[in-house]
Amino acid sequence: MDTETIRWKGRLGPIDLQVGPDTFRPTTISALMAEAMEVKPGDTVIDVGCGSGILSIIAAKLGAGRVFGVDAAAGTVEVATANARAQGVEDRIEFFQGDVVQPIPDDVEADLILGDISGIPDEIASVSGWFPSGLSGGPTGAELPLRMIEEVRRVLRKGGRLLLPTGTLQDERTILDRARDAFGNLRQLAERAIPLPTNLAEHPALTRMVKDKLVDVTRKGSRYLWTARVWEVTG
């Protein structure tokens, strides 16, 4: 598989990472989640939507005892394992290619789940260039996060934590309502306004979704911005 090298400049960086043609690359949301991550020595961590494996690597370097990374994109295991090996943490991380937490063994109970699959609506994702594998959040950008919220309950121990990213470029309200219903305890850890590329800001699908109040963007001078947030959900 052909790979290229990119550089992570977030927490514990700089770190050089190998990525394949279908690998989801770290984003501003990934950086926000890395900064918000708190890992206790010996914690078991599951990284959903692990992409290059960067959040798994950071979790291991922060003291996690075991880390399991999952991503549906082709080449996930090969690329992410190579990155973990290069960072000296391969012995504590196991990567799987698969859907959400389906490949995680039944006997695993996570202290912390990193749910870096914020997702955006399919119509917008298809022209964004952000999802090389073609996998995005569903028609409203909420469908995949909603499914993750339900499925992680199988592997999150009582009192464990889920780091949940959301954004105003998706049906954020529905995601947060479901998280409250499923877990009860929800608090915001981070927030950042992110410029929206012109091709997305002017896309007819986005204009329609803003009009329907499904997504929300703001204008600052000549730029349009959307807001990303990271939440801690306690099981």
* Pairing assessment for the beta strands 15-19 and 4-8 based on DSSP bridges: antiparallel
pLDDT digits over 41-88, tens only? 999 999 999 999 999 999 999 999 999 999 999 999 999 999 999 999
How do the domains of the chain map onto residue ranges?
A: 4-192+228-234
Separation CA 143–CA 120 (nearest Å): 9
For residue 127, pLDDT over 80 is answered with no
For residue 158, pLDDT over 90 is answered with yes
- Residue 223 and residue 150 in contact, taking contact as beta carbons nearer than 8 Å: no
pLDDT digits over 12-39, tens only? 999 999 999 999 899 999 999 999 999 9
| Three-class SS state of 3 | coil
Q: What is the pLDDT of residue 182?
A: 93
- Residue 205 and residue 123 in contact, taking contact as beta carbons nearer than 8 Å: yes
Upper half-sphere CA count for residue 5 (Cβ side, 13 Å) = 6
pLDDT digits over 175-228, tens only? 999 999 999 889 999 999 999 988 888 889 889 999 999 999 998 888 999 999
Separation CA 115–CA 231 (nearest Å): 10
CATH 3.40.50.2300 correct for 4-192+228-234 = no
Whole-model pTM over 0.85: yes
